[in-house]
Amino acid sequence: MQHQRTLWVAAAAASALMLAACGDKPQGMGGIKSDSAPSAGVGSSQYAAPGWKAGDANGWQQQLRARAQYGQNEYNRATAAQ
């Protein structure tokens, strides 16, 4: 009798734990969703690269390529430091 009661309590606790996991809220990235292209810019900003004009998609792509190659590529940065 005691063993059966312990089994029921354990089963109830396990089901409560499993059902509690179903109440998790979705964790999206949030932020602003925009229909405009990233190269459209946000107007005048202190963070814009000098000489870049809003709407210049080709310049935007070149800047991203240059940043990925020279600024954020750890393999290139490590060899330049030696």
| pLDDT per residue as tens digits for the range 34-72 | 788 888 887 777 887 777 788 889 988 988 888 887 777
Q: What is the torsion angle, in degrees rounded to the nearest 10, for the CA atoms of residue 12, residue 13, residue 14 and residue 18?
A: 100
**Residue 72, helix vs strand vs coil:** coil
* Tens of pLDDT, residues 11-36: 988 888 887 777 777 777 777 777 88
pLDDT exceeds 80 at position 77: no
Helices (H), the chain: 2-21, 57-66, 74-81
Residue boundaries of the structural domains of the chain: 54-82
54 and 40 Cβ atoms separated by less than 8 Å:
yes
Say what the alpha-carbon torsion angle 43, 45, 48, 51 is, to the nearest 10 degrees. 70
Q: Tally the residues of the chain.
A: 82
